[in-house]
Amino acid sequence: MTATALCDTPREAARLAADAMDWLAERSPRERGELLLAVAGALDGAAAELIALADEETALGEARLTGEMARTTGQLRLFANVLAEGSYLEATLDAADPDATPPRPDLRRMLEPLGPVAVFAASNFPFAFSVAGGDTASALAAGCPVVLKAHSGHPKLSERTTAVVSAALEHGGAPAGTFSCLAGRGAGRELVRDPDIRAVGFTGSLAGGRALFDLAAAREDPIPFFGELGSINPVLITRRAVRERGTAIAEGLVGSFTLGVGQFCTKPGIVLVPDDTGFEQLVVDALAGATGGRMLTDRIAGGFHGGVGELLATGSARLLDGSGGHVDTATRHADPVLLAADAADLIRDPEPLLRENFGPACALVRYRDGDELAAAVDVLPGSLTTTVHAEQADVTALTGVVALKARSGRLVWNGWPTGVAVTWSQHHGGPWPATTAPLHTSVGATAIRRWLRPVCYQDYPAELLPPALRDDNPLGLPRRVNSLRTTTQSTRDG
């Protein structure tokens, strides 16, 4: 049997993953890095075929998909670098000290893999958040076999990508169960319940993610569920900013909320704008040059149409420009929708305006003064991002920025949140309902931390210690030894 395959049942896939766990976890960081590099190379080699398949199933376009493929292989290479650098293990050694109060034994701590991981692929990024996406790359890097639940929006691509990854891992010596792929909602629920699955990574809707999160928590042995769910990604704009560069801000906003037909998890959905500045008209003017596009799936298209319609029916917002969320049922084509509302209505009844409309819709919410702006910020939910457009003269007066920090994982200044760089410093997470685990990121080097747990060894024989914790530091890792950062050898007597 190959190292990765399309398995028949969740039970089979989880059992094979458990069988592969020891082999993968026992590879050195550099050996696991070599596996990731092999997968990246195989994907690059099959890029033309995979991009054509992706475009056939998603209509995202060759240019967008080519960039996404580069991001996907770049993620795999980033985690190979994370493994080679070694600090992700947090190896920490404290020598015994009988004179300490209380007396201290020899203590050695590091992060070790949790076990087999279930990953749910996303619809809107058929490469970067799908079969060989960031969750898969970071989990394999951590030493955790992956069982992936493919997304129904791109089944052919998922099957072919699985085959490419399979061949690369098998060539690297990985056993059956290192990576496998399943399809179907029922399979996803079974995976979350399976006793061999030790953690779950999910990117998708609030309703679907919450249902799976509850399943993970209801297990006899609850497991971590790292879900990226819904996010409205609020934007705050000051009067000075509109006065100084209102046209540029309006154009940037339109470009951001219509990018990818608004199907980005970081799309700005609600914008707090000063009244009586003419900003609304600037956005309408900018929107004249924007075009719609085909939405990814019938379910997403239906949700967008229904969500905009329900919001307008509440009377909390009015249509400023666009088709009111109409989606062509034959082609799934949707045009941008611009809504207008008052901060007073948001403050009085937040829920209608704060529902995420996944698609090319944005609401401009007018505020009168600093007090009303602060009250509006106070009702905002957790989001992946918050954005501020302001001038230097606004900085000392923007007390609302502190409140925004409590509601966001990434704070953007005079820019736009769409486009998530894959780096060591990136954080793609946020307070509920943006994610179920705001301590962690699903993008960037520290995404690996989700799939690891700390283990401490007390007075253990040297022969039984993991290589990362041995005195001679055979892996040459950066470590903290007796409180000091070092890459040198250590001794038990300090």
Task: Return the structure tokens found at 371.
Answer: 């007090």
- Ranges of CATH 3.40.309.10 domains, the chain: 244-413
- Identity (one letter) of the amino acid at 187? A
pLDDT band, very low/low/confident/very high, at 491 (cuts 50, 70, 90)? low
Cis (ω within 30 of 0) for the bond into 234? Answer: no
Write down the pLDDT at residue 490: 65
Whether cis (ω within 30° of 0) applies to the bond prior to 478 is no
Q: What 8-state DSSP symbol labels residue 43?
A: H
- Write out pLDDT tens, residues 352-371: 999 999 999 999 999 999 99
Whether 459 and 98 have beta carbons less than 8 Å apart is answered as no
- Of all residues in the chain, the percent with pLDDT exceeding 90 is 89
pLDDT in tens, 217-228: 999 999 999 999
- In the numeric block, which tokens belong to residue 378? 């106070």
pLDDT surpassing 90 at residue 268 = yes
- Cβ neighbours, 10 Å, residue 301: 23
Pairing type for strands 479-481 and 484-486 reads antiparallel
The SS3 assignment for 66 reads helix
- Closest by CA position to 458, among listed 413, 414, 492, 419: 492
For residue 32, what pLDDT is reported? 97
Which residue of the set 57, 228, 280, 372 is catalytic?
228
Helices (H) and strands (E) in the chain, counts: 15, 20
Q: Is the pLDDT of residue 493 over 50?
A: no
Q: What is the pTM of this model?
A: 0.94
**Rounded Cα–Cα distance for residues 149 and 177 (Å):** 14
Cα–Cα distance measured from residue 1 to residue 5, given in angstroms and rounded to the nearest whole number: 8
Distances 129 to 11, 119, 202, 443 between C-alpha atoms, Å: 24, 10, 9, 10
Q: What is the mean pLDDT of residues 388-415?
A: 86
pLDDT at 486: 87
Active-site choice (7, 144, 181, 265) = 265
228 is catalytic: yes
Q: 260 is written with which tokens?
A: 């990818």
Q: What pLDDT does residue 3 have?
A: 47
Given CA atoms 422, 430, 410, 350 in this order, what sign does their dihedral have? Answer: positive
Q: Quick check: 316 pLDDT over 70?
A: yes
Could you report the per-residue pLDDT of 457-478, keeping only the tens digit for each? 999 999 999 999 999 999 999 9
Q: Determine the Cα–Cα distance for residues 329 and 2; give it in Å rounded to an integer.
A: 41
Question: pLDDT grade, residue 209 (50/70/90)?
Answer: very high
Taking residues 428-448, report their average pLDDT: 97
Closest CA to 110 of 82, 69, 78, 142: 142
Percent of the chain past pLDDT 70, that is, above it, reads: 96
For the record, the structure tokens of 164 come out as 């490419």
Instruction: Determine the average pLDDT of the residues in 381-397.
Output: 91
494 pLDDT exceeds 50? no
Chain mean pLDDT for the chain: 94
Q: Which residues pair with 484 in a beta bridge?
A: 481
Correct CATH for 4-229+438-452 of 3.40.50.150, 3.30.300.30, 3.40.605.10, 1.10.630.10:
3.40.605.10
pLDDT higher than 60, residue 2: no
Say whether domain 244-413 belongs to CATH 3.40.50.2300. no
pLDDT in tens, 61-72: 999 999 999 999
The mean pLDDT of 365-389, rounded to a whole number, is 95
Residue type, 108: R
- For residue 4, what pLDDT is reported? 46
Can you point out the beta strands (E) in 95-216? 107-113, 117-120, 146-149, 179-182, 199-203
The answer to whether 430 and 384 are in contact (CB under 8 A) is yes
**Residue of 222, 155, 214 lying closest to 184 (CA atoms):** 155
pLDDT for res 291: 87
Task: Look at residue 321 in the predicted model and tell me its pLDDT.
Answer: 86
Amino acid, res. 432: W
Residue 190 pLDDT exceeds 70: yes
pLDDT of residue 400: 63
Residue 411 has pLDDT above 80, yes or no: yes
In whole angstroms, give the CA distance from residue 37 to residue 134.
Answer: 14
Report how far residue 230's alpha carbon sits from residue 477's, in angstroms, rounded to the nearest whole number. 38
Give the phi and the psi of residue 365 in degrees, each rounded to 5. Answer: -110, 115
Give the pLDDT of residue 399: 65
Distance CA 277, CA 136 (A): 47
Numbered ranges of CATH 3.40.605.10 in the chain: 4-229+438-452
